[in-house]
A and B are shown apart, each in its own frame.
Chain A
Amino acid sequence: MNNVKIKSKNLNVYYGEKQALFDVNLDLNEKEVTALIGPSGCGKSTFIRCINRMNDVIDICKVSGNIEIDGVEINDKNLDVVSLRERVGMVFQKPNPFPKSIYDNISYGPKIHGKGETKSELDEIVENSLKKAALWEEVKDRLDEPGTGLSGGQQQRLCIARAISVNPEVILMDEPCSALDPIATAKIEELIDELKKTYTIVIVTHSMAQAVRVSQKTGFFHLGKLIEVGKTEKIFKNPDNKMTQDYITGRFG
Chain B
Amino acid sequence: MSNEHTVKSYEEELRHLIDSVIKMGSLTESQLIDSMDAVIKVDKDSIDKIIKSDDEINKFRSKIDTQIMTLLVKRAPMAIDLRETISSLKISQDLERIGDLSKSNAKKVKPLPLDLPEELLGNLKRLGELVIKQLNDVLDSYVNKNYDKAKEVWEKDEQVDDLTYIAMESVIDFLSKDKKNLDFSTHLIFATKNLERAGDHITNIAESICYLIKGEYLKGSRPKGKVIQQ
In the A-B complex, the 8 residue pairs with the closest CB atoms: A238-B215, A253-B2, A248-B78, A245-B79, A249-B81, A250-B5, A236-B78, A253-B1
CB-CB < 8 A to A245: which residues of B? 79-80
Do B1 and A252 touch across chains, with their CB atoms under 8 A apart? Answer: yes
Cβ 8 A contact of A237, one of B3, B4, B76, B83: B83
Would you list which residues of chain B between 202 and 223 have a CB under 8 Å from chain A? 214-216
Do A238 and B79 touch across chains, with their CB atoms under 8 A apart? Answer: yes
Do A249 and B78 touch across chains, with their CB atoms under 8 A apart? Answer: yes
CB-CB < 8 A to A239: which residues of B? 79
CB-CB < 8 A to B79: which residues of A? 236-239, 244-245, 248-249
Q: Give the distance in Å from the alpha carbon of A125 to the alpha carbon of B46 in the complex.
A: 82
B82 CB to closest chain A CB (Å) equals: 7
Would you list which residues of chain A between 208 and 253 have a CB under 8 Å from chain B? 208-209, 236-239, 242-246, 248-253
Do A251 and B2 touch across chains, with their CB atoms under 8 A apart? Answer: yes
CB-CB < 8 A to B4: which residues of A? 251
CB-CB < 8 A to A248: which residues of B? 78-79
Given contacts A237-B83, A238-B215, A246-B1, contact A252 B6 (CB under 8 A): yes
B10 CB within 8 Å of chain A: yes
Do A237 and B82 touch across chains, with their CB atoms under 8 A apart? Answer: yes
Q: Give the distance in Å from the alpha carbon of A244 to the alpha carbon of B214 in the complex.
A: 15
Task: Tell me whether chain A's interface is mostly helix, strand or loop, or mixed.
Answer: helix
Instruction: List 24 A-B pairs, Cβ < 8 Å.
Output: A208-B76, A209-B76, A236-B78, A236-B79, A236-B82, A237-B79, A238-B79, A243-B1, A245-B79, A245-B80, A246-B1, A248-B78, A248-B79, A249-B5, A249-B79, A249-B81, A250-B6, A250-B7, A250-B10, A251-B1, A251-B2, A251-B3, A251-B4, A253-B1
- Measured as residues with beta carbon below 8 angstroms from the partner, the interface class of chain A is 10 to 19
Q: Which of A237, A238, A245, A251 has the most CB of B within 10 A?
A: A251
Q: Give the distance in Å from the alpha carbon of A239 to the alpha carbon of B216 in the complex.
A: 11
B5 CB to closest chain A CB (Å) equals: 5
Closest to A236 in B: B78
B225 CB within 8 Å of chain A: no
Q: Give the distance in Å from the alpha carbon of A93 to the alpha carbon of B209 in the complex.
A: 41
Do B82 and A251 touch across chains, with their CB atoms under 8 A apart? Answer: no
B79-119 CB contact bits vs A (8 Å, 1 = yes)? 11111000000000000000000000000000000000000
Cβ 8 A contact of B216, one of A238, A242, A251: A238
B3-17 CB contact bits vs A (8 Å, 1 = yes)? 111110010000000
Q: Which of B2, B76, B78, B81 has the most CB of A within 10 A?
A: B78
Q: Give the distance in Å from the alpha carbon of A248 to the alpha carbon of B6 in the complex.
A: 11
Q: Give the distance in Å from the alpha carbon of A250 to the alpha carbon of B7 in the complex.
A: 8
Q: Give the distance in Å from the alpha carbon of A248 to the alpha carbon of B79 in the complex.
A: 7
CB-CB < 8 A to A250: which residues of B? 5-7, 10
CB-CB < 8 A to B216: which residues of A? 238
CB-CB < 8 A to A237: which residues of B? 79, 82-83, 215
CB-CB < 8 A to B76: which residues of A? 208-209
